[in-house]
Copies of this chain bind each other. A is one copy, B any other.
Amino acid sequence: MPALEDAPRAPGRPRSVRVDEAIVSATLDLLAEGTTVDVLSIEAIASRAGVGKATIYRRWPGKEALLHDALATLKLPGPELAGESVRDDLIALLSQVGPTGHDPRFPKILPCILPHLSRSPEHYQAYQDIIEPRRNRVRQVLRRGVANGELRADLDIELTMAVLIGPILMQRVVRWHPDLDADKMPEQVVDLLMAGIAPH
């Protein structure tokens, strides 16, 4: 974050935005290729980005900080929601989980950072700011459904989110259920649940 727009303009050669992007992208690439967080090294990132190590250390204090910033670039806003029906909006949102979503690398990256996230509550907390906004979109659609009667009034929102997201995430990350097609799951899962979620 470069302070403010109207910064006093520091002297000397300004940092290259290209280099910024190259470093972040190299980090995500390596993760997407199966490099676990513990194996991920500044050296490898630098080499992949065609950049000197010093250039990376000039911007980030270490691997952890770079990783967080890199993952944060994935939190693009979701799609426009039609807003017609809760069912359609949920399907649209859940379809964003996967190669067709914000970044095609996401499903490959996730398993590589899971061990790191599950290491301790602190590690997990550190990435809530990235995870939460996406979850929040689902939450709001569900709330809308409860409000306008499309969904049951006594619905447990958090639980419902878990049941919606969990299966699709598991199928994307590993194909835990070999006989299912991850692309069709959003619609299938929503429809399977609706009968239980809907007022009648």
Interface residues of chain A, those whose CB is within 8 Å of chain B, are 34, 36-39, 108, 111-112, 114-115, 117-119, 124, 128, 131, 135, 156, 158-163, 165-171, 173-180, 185, 188-189, 192-197
Which residues of the other chain, B, contact A39 by a CB distance below 8 angstroms? Answer: 36, 38-39
Q: Say whether B38 contacts A36, CB under 8 Å.
A: yes
- 25 chain-A/chain-B pairs, Cβ below 8 angstroms: A34-B115, A34-B119, A38-B38, A111-B118, A114-B174, A115-B115, A124-B175, A128-B178, A158-B180, A159-B185, A159-B188, A162-B167, A162-B170, A162-B176, A162-B180, A162-B185, A163-B166, A163-B193, A165-B176, A166-B168, A166-B169, A170-B170, A193-B196, A195-B196, A196-B197
Number of copies of this kind of chain in the complex: 2
Chain B residues with Cβ below 8 Å from A38 are 36, 38-39
Which B residues lie within 8 Å of A158 (CB)? 177, 179-180
> How many angstroms between the C-alpha atoms of A156 and B195 in the bound complex?
14
Is B162 touching A171 in the complex (CB atoms < 8 A)?
yes
Distance of A175 Cα from B131 Cα, bound (Å):
12
Flag if A163 contacts B189 (CB, 8 Å): yes
